[in-house]
Amino acid sequence: MKRQAVNRAVLQRLLRYALDDKRNLFIAIALLFVASLADVSGPWLLQRFIDNYIAVDQFPVADVATLVAAYIALMILAGVFKYAQSLRFNQIAIGVVQKVRKQLFAQVMNQPLSAFDYMPSGKLISRLTNDTESIKDFYVFVIATFLKNVTLIVVMLTVMFIMSWRLTLVVLALLPVVVGVMVVYQHKSASAYRRMRDLLADINSSMSESIQGMSLIQLMRQEKAFSAYFAGLTDQHLKAQIGVTKLNSVLLRPLIDLLSGIALLTLVALFGVGGTELIGVGVLYAFLSYLGRVTEPLIEMTQQLSLLQQALVASERIFALIDSRQQAYGEDERPLTSGHLACRDLSFSYDGKQKVLDNIDIELPHQGFLALVGHTGSGKSTLASLMMGFYPSSEGGVELDGRPLESLSRSVLRQGIAMVQQDPHVLSDTVRENVSLGREMTDDQIWHALETVGLAGQIKQYEFGLDTVLGGGEVNLSAGQKQLLALARVLVEQPKVLILDEATANIDSGTEQKIQHMLSVLRQNMSIVVIAHRLSTIMDADEIVVLHHGEVIERGTHFSLLSERKQYWQMYQLQQASDHLHHLEEASTETAEN
């Protein structure tokens, strides 16, 4: 009962989308009614011809010609109006799908980052494509079919009742049974279609992740394992489809054909008992014709229940995402006056159980340089994400320019603090679009940002300059160049705080020196936070904070931490030894080549 209530709520919400276009909906229903009336009039005209002319063996040319012309005209009229109403319903359906997709995509864009921690991209794509297509099918086939057939049945029953109320009762006795079959089918098929939709989303997710991680799969020789997993999902989906097909083969056409056959035999039996005195030959012909036309819409409506069920399941998933919590921002629109950043007794947990950060106190003055170091899993990137406002803190909070981070509006926060991540995303688009990302800016601003990060020389070598398309096999940037490009993106707007999350991890020593010089220049206008494994990048930091299992265990300048000879000193010694070995290997290679 609970599941049915949910379905009714989803169905009502789906229908409200169509009511937004009341004019088209009204016209479509009016066209549908006229088409049904014209379609039903055909057997009635034939009944009149049989009883009034054939039965009495009289064939007035003028009357017969009029009936023939009227019959042809009605059939043409029915066809024209069916076509017109079909176009209207398709327009409504396409409009609804476009609206839902826009709402859904806008909601995805405003989801908090925590929502993507447990939501594979393939499942999101499935909701944006397959699930919204189910809504289109709902309007094109389900709603149009139900309105058409209900209108057709009502008009036919009215005409039949006028002809013979006794025979109409026989047909009416069939309807409650068919409605019962439809209810049973909907109840039985709900879970099956929901499982089919879930498996289809898993299939899309598996394909997306496999394609994105193709280099890793081939490197680890896991092609067979991933193919086997994908094959397992498709086999489960096939079994679910077969289960639905079996259900359809029992509860749809075979059962309703049996019921219509019983009604047909009843009509013939009544004619055999009463003869033409009770039922005219023309009336019997009309009723037999109408019986076929009544049962066929009933079968068609029952068959559409499968699409209805798919649309309801898809809509449940879509509306759950549309109604989900958006990224929260404050209402403080005052521009930031400084890059003063502070973490006050900050603690954080992803699952509410295991703390990732515990009681962090950090103060970064305006134009300051803060470095975060520590072994993998120490909480550096999580702390940077909290500074960006990607996650709400569990305890304590982050302040920017003396104001709580959660009080700042979206525009103030995103313009005031920016991050260059370890693995930046590059669009399959021009250099210009990759830097601007849709923001209004001149080519001079873009070139200035590229000059600042030392990437302008590389771009000028390309034939099309800023119009060079990146990715797609045309021009591929190295890992280090991608990070420089990402750095240029954020420097265009000159944020008050710049966070570099391992942004120097994949660049050579020469580029690293340029980055260090650039950071010293940028400090004149902004505060800088650098997360780095390469300690040579942060030797000039005003303060270095060493994290271990989410706690601050050391803090100070580069030289003061070395003098303490604790974890930072150990990390520095290991890197020095590693760099020394690397230089020895290079020297050995050069000697061997000479």
- HEC string of 187-234 equals HHHHHHHHHHHHHHHHHHHHHHHHHHCHHHHHHCCCHHHHHHHHHHHH
**End position of a domain, from candidates 293, 322, 351:** 322
Same structural domain for residues 233 and 200?
A: yes
Residue 563 has a pLDDT of 92
* pLDDT band with cut points at 50, 70 and 90 for residue 286: low
Residue 219 lies in a domain: yes
pLDDT above 80 (res 260): no
Same structural domain for residues 234 and 358?
A: no
Mean pLDDT of 399-422: 89
Same structural domain for residues 182 and 101?
A: yes
Nearest C-alpha neighbor of 420 from the set 482, 476, 378: 482
Instruction: Quote the tokens at residue 525.
Output: 């206008």
Residue 184 lies in a domain: yes
Structural domains in the chain (count)? 2
Residue 275 has a pLDDT of 47
Residue 25 lies in a domain: yes
Instruction: Report the alpha-carbon distance of residue 403 to residue 336 in Å, rounded.
Output: 9
CA 212 vs CA 82, 120, 199, 472: distances in Å: 47, 12, 20, 14
Q: Counting Cβ atoms within 10 Å, is residue 286 exposed (0-12), middle (13-18) or buried (19+)?
A: buried
What are the two backbone dihedrals, phi and then psi, of residue 343, each rounded to the nearest 5 degrees?
-110, 120
CATH number, position 217: 1.20.1560.10
pLDDT above 70 (res 27): yes
Same structural domain for residues 367 and 318?
A: no
Among 156-170, 396-410, 511-525, top mean pLDDT goes to 396-410
When the pLDDT of each residue in the chain is averaged and rounded to a whole number, the result is 79
Of residues 266 and 566, the one with the higher pLDDT is 566
- Strands 543-548, 369-373: pairing is parallel
Q: Do residues 113 and 384 make contact, with C-beta atoms less than 8 angstroms apart?
A: no
What percent of the chain is modeled with pLDDT above 90?
A: 13
CA 243 vs CA 67, 136, 279, 310: distances in Å: 50, 24, 45, 14
Residue 4 has a pLDDT of 45
pLDDT above 50 (res 20): yes
Residue 344 has a pLDDT of 92
End-to-end Cα, the chain, rounded Å: 83
Q: Lowest-pLDDT range, 9-18, 133-142, 426-435, 513-522?
A: 513-522
303-327 pLDDT, tens digit per residue, is: 677 778 778 888 888 888 888 777 7
| Angle 521-517-422 from CA coordinates, rounded to 5° | 100
List of residues 6+ apart from 24 with CB closer than 8 A: 88, 91, 92
DSSP-assigned letter for residue 400: E
Residue 383 has a pLDDT of 92
CATH number, position 357: 3.40.50.300
Same structural domain for residues 318 and 345?
A: no
Residue 487 lies in a domain: no
Same structural domain for residues 418 and 285?
A: no
Sheet with 527-531: strands ordered across: 417-420, 497-501, 527-531, 369-373, 543-548, 551-556
Mean pLDDT of 275-292: 59
Give this prediction's pTM.
Answer: 0.65
Of residues 377 and 518, the one with the higher pLDDT is 377
326-374 pLDDT, tens digit per residue, is: 777 889 999 888 999 999 999 998 877 888 999 999 999 999 999 999 8
Angle, helices 443-453/509-522, rounded to nearest 10 degrees: 120
Residue pointed to by tokens 């660049």: 507
Same structural domain for residues 269 and 385?
A: no
Same structural domain for residues 110 and 202?
A: yes
Instruction: Report the alpha-carbon distance of residue 456 to residue 465 in Å, rounded.
Output: 9
Residue 351 has a pLDDT of 77
Residue 335 lies in a domain: no
Same structural domain for residues 397 and 297?
A: no
68: helix, strand or coil: helix
Mean pLDDT of 113-135: 73
**End position of a domain, from candidates 260, 293, 322:** 322
129-167 pLDDT, tens digit per residue, is: 778 888 888 887 788 778 877 877 787 777 777 777 766
Mean pLDDT of 556-583: 84
37-68 pLDDT, tens digit per residue, is: 787 777 777 666 666 666 556 667 777 787 77
Same structural domain for residues 297 and 378?
A: no
Residue 576 lies in a domain: no
Instruction: Report the alpha-carbon distance of residue 392 to residue 350 in Å, rounded.
Output: 10
Instruction: Report the alpha-carbon distance of residue 279 to residue 291 in Å, rounded.
Output: 15
Residue 542 lies in a domain: yes
198-234 pLDDT, tens digit per residue, is: 788 788 778 877 887 887 788 778 888 888 999 999 9
Instruction: Report the alpha-carbon distance of residue 3 to residue 486 in Å, rounded.
Output: 47
Of residues 16 and 244, the one with the higher pLDDT is 16
Mean pLDDT of 174-202: 74
Mean pLDDT of 555-561: 92
The CA R_g of the chain, rounded to the nearest whole Å, is: 36
Mean pLDDT of 244-250: 74
Residue 579 lies in a domain: no
* pLDDT band with cut points at 50, 70 and 90 for residue 283: low
Instruction: Report the alpha-carbon distance of residue 310 to residue 317 in Å, rounded.
Output: 11
Give rounded-to-5 percent helix, strand, coil for the chain. Answer: 70, 10, 20
pLDDT above 80 (res 83): yes
Instruction: Report the alpha-carbon distance of residue 512 to residue 507 in Å, rounded.
Output: 6
Identify the domain containing residue 11 by its residue range.
Answer: 2-322
Alpha-carbon 179 to chain mean position: 35
Same structural domain for residues 245 and 379?
A: no
pLDDT above 70 (res 91): yes
Same structural domain for residues 191 and 161?
A: yes
What are the two backbone dihedrals, phi and then psi, of residue 348, each rounded to the nearest 5 degrees?
-155, 145
Q: Do residues 305 and 186 make contact, with C-beta atoms less than 8 angstroms apart?
A: yes
Q: Counting Cβ atoms within 10 Å, is residue 216 exposed (0-12), middle (13-18) or buried (19+)?
A: exposed
Instruction: Report the alpha-carbon distance of residue 23 to residue 129 in Å, rounded.
Output: 28
pLDDT above 80 (res 378): yes
pLDDT above 60 (res 542): yes
